[in-house]
């Protein structure tokens, strides 16, 4: 779902991003704590303070670039640290930690859709909630891409055969550059994200 490039939309988008990334990262950290690892908790990541979760490029620069180029912001926050040796259920526990973030955003989008349908007669409220939904769906989709360090890679890792796990381990140190390259240099990749965002957002509404 595209966001119109105007001051109202930008203000709403900023507020939506703050809420979305704060809850996303907090739920990563909270899930890790519940599964036995206190690493993120000790680093202050169980917090609604967005400053605890901001990554300069992924959270600030990338969404500005993609909002201008694609009319849809694509972003992620600073990864939540965890110690796999302290997490229950081994790789499946790590997958639960990874899934907690993006599925929180999907839940926020669903809640936003319910409220939007209730206030469908109020144009300003409805438009603001459409942006809120689009932001959260976008974060959900982007973070589910199975390329390290995105959340989808950790989910895939828990269920993948050794050959894929080995491949993911080999590309992990370059993963962030692969993600940037796909978003900024491969139009088809960005278009898939935009199209999925539109489809899911319209379905929720």
Match 């809850």 to its residue by tokens: 23
Q: Which two tokens stand for residue 78?
A: 């600073």
Write the CB contacts of 30 (distance below 8 Å, at least 6 apart in sequence). 46, 100
For 12, 33, 98, 118, 145, the CA distances from 129, given in Å and listed in that order, are 9, 31, 26, 11, 25
The residue from 25, 42, 43, 91 that is catalytic is 25
Match 């491949």 to its residue by tokens: 167
Burial tier of 111 (Cβ tally within 10 Å: 0-12, 13-18, 19+): middle
Q: Is residue 133 within 8 Å of 114, Cβ to Cβ?
A: no
Secondary structure class of 29 (helix, strand, coil): helix
Based on the residue annotation, tell me whether 25 is a catalytic residue of this protein. Answer: yes
Write the CB contacts of 153 (distance below 8 Å, at least 6 apart in sequence). 98, 145, 146, 147, 168, 172, 175
User: Catalytic residues, which ones?
Assistant: 25
């Amino acid at each position: 779902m595209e966001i119109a490039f105007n001051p109202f939309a930008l203000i709403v988008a900023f507020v939506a991003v703050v809420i979305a990334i704060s809850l996303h990262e907090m739920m990563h950290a909270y899930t890790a704590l519940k599964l036995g690892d206190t690493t993120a908790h000790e680093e202050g990541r169980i917090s609604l303070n967005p400053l605890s979760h901001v990554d300069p490029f992924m959270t600030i620069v990338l969404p500005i670039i993609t909002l201008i180029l694609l009319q849809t912001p694509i972003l992620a926050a600073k990864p939540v640290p965890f110690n796999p040796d302290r997490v229950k259920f081994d790789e499946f526990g790590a997958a639960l930690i990874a899934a907690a973030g993006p599925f929180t955003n999907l839940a926020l989008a669903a809640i936003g859709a319910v409220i939007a349908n209730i206030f469908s007669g109020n144009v300003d409220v409805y438009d603001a909630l459409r942006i809120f939904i689009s932001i959260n769906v976008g974060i959900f989709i982007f973070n589910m891409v199975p390329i390290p360090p995105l959340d989808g890679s950790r989910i895939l890792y828990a269920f993948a055969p050794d050959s894929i796990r080995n491949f993911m381990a080999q590309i992990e140190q370059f993963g962030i550059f692969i993600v940037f390259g796909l978003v900024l240099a491969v139009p088809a990749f960005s278009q898939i994200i935009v199209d999925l965002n539109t489809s899911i957002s319209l379905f929720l509404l």
